[in-house]
Amino acid sequence: MTDASSAPAVPVTIHRGDYRPPEWQIPDIALDFALGIKETRVTAALSAVRAADAPAPLLLRGDGLTPAEVRVDGAVWNDWRMDGSDLVVDLGDRTAATVEVDTLIHPATNTQLMGLYASNGMLCTQCEAEGFRRITFHPDRPDVLSRYRVRLAGDRARFPILLSNGNCIASGEGEDGTHWALWEDPWPKPSYLFALVAGDLVVNRDSFTTMSGRKVDLGIWVRDGDLDRTHHAMAALKHSMKWDEEVYGREYDLDRFNIVAVSDFNMGAMENKGLNIFNTRYILADPDTATDMDYDGVEGVVAHEYFHNWSGNRVTCRDWFQLSLKEGFTVYRDQSFSAAMGSPAVKRIEDVRVLRAAQFPEDAGPLAHPIRPDSYQEISNFYTATVYNKGAEVIRMMATLLGPERFRRGTDLYFDRHDGEAATCEDFIRAMEEGGGIDLTQFRRWYEQAGTPKLHLTLAQEGGEWFLDIVQTVPPTPGQPAKAPMMMPLRLAAFAMDGGGAALPDTLVTLTGAAQRVPLGAFAARPALSVNRGFSAPVIVDYERAPGELAWLAAHDDDPFARYEALQQLMLDTLVAAVSGEAGNRDAVIGAVARTLAGAADDPAFVAEAVLLPSEAFIGDQMVTVDPDAIRSARMALQGAIGDALEGQWRAILGNPAPAATDLSPAAKGRRRLRGVALAYLAATGKEDVAALAFGIFSSADGMTERQAALATLAHGDSDERAHALDIFYQRYRDDPLVLDKWFQVQAWSLRSDTVAAVAALAQHPDFTLANPNRVRSLYGAFAANQAAFHQADGAGYRLLADLVIALDPKNPQTAARMIPPLGRWKRFDVARQALMKTELERILAQPGLSRDTTEQASKSLM
Ligand code: PHE
Ligand code: ZN
């Protein structure tokens, strides 16, 4: 059963400016669940207290629910009506009442994975943003906070473990093999943080002693057989708890903290109070099945959800327009944590790569929105790279402008002032202003204006003194034709390339104007400019530099991020030139890569990042009209040239033994990463022995990082070893869903020219299923990121993705809608591709009963 048909035919747009405080508060809630996979009976008792001065009916949101009975203060009540799918209870002029509603829900047929659903025989919930209304009638808005008491009852054999938020205060046996548990969460919370889990689970138990000496019981719950794969997550949890105490002074506030891993999940994980629910992908890791990148993902997401306990739960959001208040801040916190656990420079490079790959295109396309949107039709569509990752950049800029001590004063003030409240982005900014002693009036534009600002830079010279002239523009975005200049921190330095003479050391400039001049000092010759160091502002820098200057910076800049940027820019300039048939400067690139490689022994992780060629998509972002085929050939040609020229170095890197897979030190991870990069460069040479070399690595690898890197390299080619390795991998891991996802993914990423057909065939594979979002993403998400395949000139790639959206939407509209943005980038392509892409968007929109999620994304994508 799906509720797509209950979506309104004419989408309703919700506006930020229409916010009104709730007319009723619900200080206490008692929920009673009679659990069953097919059918679960829910009794909700809401203690409602009128907040409005005048009488007002109690509006309880519902989605796919029918009230079996309504009672008020214990007596059957008939003064209610349905308004669409919502329940409106008329309480006359009462100022308080206990409203009880009985409902019946059906977890097994809940394919949306919102509300209460079944996954692998267990029951679990997902309520953010508006899923609680699929469990019971409720105001279901984040500014209504309640204390919850939850009674769970069900068959003991089927559901030996019964979990909810907070503490278990009682449990016992029922009739007919049932048992029950009573959970109480002492902290008032919004309904989106409610959770329950019932199933046959095993636990990895540990404990953490907080800074005030309280012992917290930690539990990570998984299916039998997965326990050995939970240790990394547990270590990450304990590190996160410590880090939040040390860096933000935030202590955990309950006696237990539980995490449950489920295999069917729409997102990465969810921060439900005291009971986080995770996609298995971000909990389970062991060297045989998880890559180093997977390990880092586990660490980062465990930290992210834990940090939400303060930035999200203790201080929550007033309304969903404020989503970046918790998400931007929490991403910033998890990024800082991961930087502290590993290499800050490499982490910054990775985060900027994600921003450029996912957020910049969003900001430049039809779905562009400010980090605090002004309107939406379906809030699920706003869990975006803009709200999350650009939101994190905005917090980072405030931290940079204030410096660590004043930033900490600001966050202390924010947490103290708003603890227990539903707050706004404006509240956060005000705490930064007061705690940090800064005027952020102009800075607020980051919350209002969409679009990636561009800085156009030129150097000027006046009598031996050099100046940097900066002109800032912010491009028009849907609904925002004209923009005002943003306030931002710009870190820069200048060097004399001949070694002697002056240098401008690392300097923080606060940009405010549309045009601004920065004095650099006296230089005998044009200095090498190191600008936007550490990526201090999330902007595009437009500054023409000679290959020699970029190569010099790639070798000598004292900011590692800037060294990376200089080499990337050098590569990018050459690739963009090659795409338009010009020579570019291959030799400069090869020379710079060679020099960077010389530092591989000292910092292999950094070197591996630095020598990677820019992605095909990022090359496309530099062009007026993206030419996917020309980009692919130019990139492959440059990769082959670098592979040939430095063949000895690549072979030497691979000639050294790989570190043991169980060695997860940053140095070992860095060496493995560099080996993967070396193998890709060697493969690009087309040398005959490379398939055998890759197959050797694949076969002898003692862990997934090396195994997957070798498999991915083979998957691009046409060797016998390719088919053989794919088969071995499949046979070995066919019963491990997370690893089988990788098998689908490497084939969808393939640079082969028959990838569209291969993906279409894989969609018919017996192990492919629309019921599991990870599987859908591993095939179609990877495919849509494969630029030349997805944009195959005949439009077959577009058709494939649209077919998926159409098939998936009735089952899981959230995941279906998230597949649409690649089709919405049509303006960036030639007219033939534009027409083909728009045809598919129109075909999607023509489907009867299309969900609100997909309708919003597809219709906005056509504008
Ligand atoms: N709030 C979750 C997070 O970012 C993400 C999420 C949103 C999960 C909606 C599920 C549903 O940590
Ligand atoms: Zn989050």
Ligand 1, atom 9: closest residue by C-alpha:
128
Measured at the CA of 45, the angle between CA 39 and CA 50, to 5 degrees, comes to 140
Q: Which residues are catalytic?
A: 305
To test the pocket of ligand 1, the residue of 112, 260, 264, 270 to mutate (highest count of ligand atoms within 8 Å of its CB) is 270
Candidate of 192, 262, 383 to mutate for ligand 1, largest count of ligand atoms within 8 Å of Cβ = 383
Query: DSSP state, 79?
Result: -
Give residue 268 CA to ligand 2 midpoint distance, Å.
9
Q: How far is CA 52 from the centre of its chain?
A: 38
Nearest residue by C-alpha to atom 2 in ligand 1: 270
Q: Which residues, 6 or more positions from 622, have their beta carbon under 8 angstroms from its beta carbon?
A: 572, 576
Distances (CA, A) of 463 to 12, 493, 619: 62, 20, 39
For 853, the enclosing helix (H) or strand (E) is helix 852-861
Q: Which ligand is nearest to the CA of 311?
A: 2
Q: Which atom of ligand 1 is nearest to the CA of 131?
A: 11
What value does the mean pLDDT of the chain take?
97
Closest listed ligand to the CA of 126: 1
48 lines ligand 1 (CB under 6 A): no
Residue 11 confidence class, pLDDT cut points 50, 70, 90: confident
Q: What is the pLDDT of residue 500?
A: 74
- pTM of the shown model: 0.98
Euclidean distance between CA atoms 434 and 449, whole angstroms: 23
C-alpha–C-alpha distance, residues 26 and 137, integer Å: 12
Residue 792, pLDDT above cutoff 50: yes
Nearest-atom number in ligand 1 for the CA of 271 is 12
By the 8 A CB rule, do 221 and 161 touch?
yes
Which amino acid does the sequence have at 601? A
Ligand nearest to the CA of 195: 1
Residue reference for tokens 């980038």: 825
Question: How many whole angstroms from 328 Cα to the centroid of ligand 2?
Answer: 8
- Residue 314 in contact with ligand 1 by CB distance below 6 A: no
Q: Identify the burial level of 502 via C-beta atoms within 10 angstroms of its C-beta, where 0-12 means exposed, 13-18 middle and 19 or more buried.
A: middle
Strand-pair category, 196-199 with 161-164: antiparallel
As a three-state string, the secondary structure of 493-528 is EEECCCCCCCCEEEEEEEECCCEEEEEEEECCCCCE
Question: Is 333 close to ligand 1, i.e. is its CB under 6 Å away?
Answer: no
378 close to ligand 1 (CB < 6 Angstrom)? no
Q: Which ligand is nearest to the CA of 266?
A: 1
Indicate which residue's Cα is closest to atom 5 of ligand 1: 270
Which residue's CA is the closest to the ligand 1 atom numbered 12?
Answer: 270
DSSP state of 186: E
Q: Taking ligand 2, which is a single-atom ion, which protein residues have CB atoms under 5 Å away?
A: 327, 330
Tell how far the Cα of 118 is from the centroid of ligand 1, in angstroms.
Answer: 18
- Is any atom of ligand 1 closer than 6 Å to the C-beta of 334? no
Residue 563, pLDDT above cutoff 90: yes
428: closest CA among 498, 358, 325? 325
Q: Alpha carbon of 798 to those of 195, 363, 528: distances in Å?
A: 38, 22, 44
Q: Summarize the confidence of residues 60-76 as an average pLDDT.
A: 98
CA of 191 to the centre of ligand 2 (A): 16
304 lines ligand 1 (CB under 6 A): yes
Place of tokens 């009128």: 50
CA distance 502 to 494: 9
Whole-number pLDDT of residue 3: 46
Q: Which of helix, strand or coil describes residue 532?
A: coil
Residue type, 122: M
Phi, psi of 154, rounded to the nearest 5 degrees? -175, 175
The two tokens of residue 630 are 């020309």
What DSSP state is assigned to residue 659?
P
Q: Could you give the dihedral angle defined by the CA atoms of residues 593, 595, 596 and 601, in that order, rounded to the nearest 10 degrees?
A: 130
List phi, psi (to 5°) of 53: -70, -40
Give the pLDDT confidence score for residue 583 in this predicted structure.
Answer: 83
**3-class DSSP assignment, residue 750:** coil
Q: How many of the other CB atoms lie within 10 Å of CB of 17? A: 7
Q: Is the CB of 316 under 6 A from ligand 1?
A: no
Pocket flag, ligand 1, residue 383 (CB < 6 Å): yes
Does ligand 1 come within 6 angstroms of the Cβ of 262?
no
**What's the 308 CA to ligand 2 centre distance in angstroms?**
7
**For residue 4, is pLDDT > 50?**
no
CA 301 to ligand 1: nearest atom: 12
- Give the ligand whose atoms come closest to the C-alpha of residue 773: 1
Q: Is 696 buried (19+), middle (13-18) or exposed (0-12) by CB count in 10 A?
A: middle
Ligand 1 pocket check for 853: Cβ under 6 Å? no
- From the CA of 269, how far away is ligand 1's center (Å)? 6
Q: Which ligand 1 atom is at minimum distance from the Cα of 266?
A: 10
Atom 3 (ligand 1) nearest CA: 270
Cβ–Cβ under 8 Å, residues 353 and 441 = no
DSSP letters along 768-798, please? --TT-HHHHIIIIIHHHT-HHHHT-TTSHHH
Measured in Å, residue 297 CA sits from the centre of ligand 1 at: 15
Residue 226 near ligand 1, beta carbon < 6 Å? no
Using the predicted structure, report yes or no on whether residue 261 has a pLDDT greater than 80: yes
Residue 272 Cβ contacting ligand 1 at under 6 Å: no
CA dist., res. 691 & res. 686, Å (int): 9
Nearest CA to ligand 1 atom 8: 270
The answer to whether 769 and 815 have CB atoms below 8 angstroms apart is no
Q: Could you say which ligand is closest to the alpha carbon of residue 130?
A: 1
Q: In whole angstroms, what is the distance from residue 724 CA to residue 796 CA? A: 28
**Percentage of the chain modeled with pLDDT above 70:** 99
Q: Is the CB of 675 under 6 A from ligand 1?
A: no
Return the ligand 1 atom nearest residue 269 CA: 8
Give dist(CA 401, CA 843) in Å, integer: 48
Q: Convert the pLDDT of each residue in 167-207 to its tens digit.
A: 999 999 999 999 999 999 999 999 999 999 999 999 999 99
| Position in ligand 1 atom list of the atom nearest CA 388 | 4
Ligand 2 geometric centre to CA of 158 (Å): 31
Phi, psi values for residue 404, rounded to 5°: -60, -40
Question: What tokens appear for 545 in the block?
Answer: 């530099």
CB-CB contact of 432 with 398 (8 Å):
yes
Determine whether the shortest distance from the Cβ of 126 to ligand 1 is under 6 A: yes
Report whether pLDDT(840) > 50: yes
Q: How far is the CA of 390 from the centre of ligand 2 (A)?
A: 13
| Pocket residue to mutate for ligand 1, from 124, 140, 267, 283, most atoms within 8 A of Cβ | 267
Atom of ligand 1 nearest to the CA of 312: 1
Query: SS3 sequence, 323-392?
Result: HHHHHHHHHHHHHHHHHHHCCHHHHHHHHHHHHHHHHHHHHCCCCCCCCCCCEECCHHHHCCHHHHHHHH
Mean pLDDT across the stretch 246-275? 98
What is the four-CA torsion angle of 457, 335, 391, 543, rounded to 10 degrees? 10
Q: How far is the CA of 297 from the centre of ligand 2 (A)?
A: 14
Cβ–ligand 1 distance for 267 under 6 Å, the answer yes
Who has greater pLDDT, 498 or 774?
Answer: 774
| Residue 9 pLDDT | 59
Smallest CA separation from ligand 1 atom 11, residue: 128
Separation of 392 CA from ligand 2 center, angstroms? 11
Residue owning the nearest CA to atom 7 of ligand 1: 128
Confirm if 319 and 16 have CB atoms less than 8 A apart: yes
Pocket test for ligand 1, best of 128, 191, 853 (most atoms within 8 A of CB): 128
- Could you tell me the distance, in angstroms and rounded to a whole number, from the CA of residue 75 to the centre of ligand 2? 41
Distance between CA 438 and CA 814 in Å, rounded? 40
**What's the pLDDT score for residue 10?**
73
> Any residues with CB less than 8 A from the CB of 668 and at least 6 apart, and which?
659, 660
Crossing angle of the two packed helices 628-645 and 586-597, in degrees rounded to 10: 50
d(CA 692, CA 694): 5
Q: How many residues does the chain have?
A: 863
Ligand 1 atom with the shortest distance to the CA of 265: 10
From ligand 2's centre to the CA of 326, what distance in Å? 7
Task: Judge if the beta carbon of residue 63 lies within 6 A of ligand 1.
Answer: no
The token duo for 301 is: 């997401």
Q: In this model, does residue 227 exceed pLDDT 90?
A: yes
Residue 501: predicted pLDDT: 72
Torsion of CA 772, 795, 619, 669, to 10 degrees: 30
Contact (Cβ atoms closer than 8 angstroms) between residue 160 and residue 177: no
383 alpha carbon, closest ligand: 1
User: Residue 824: what residue type?
Assistant: G
Q: From ligand 1's centre to the CA of 595, what distance in Å?
A: 43
Say whether pLDDT at 2 is over 80: no
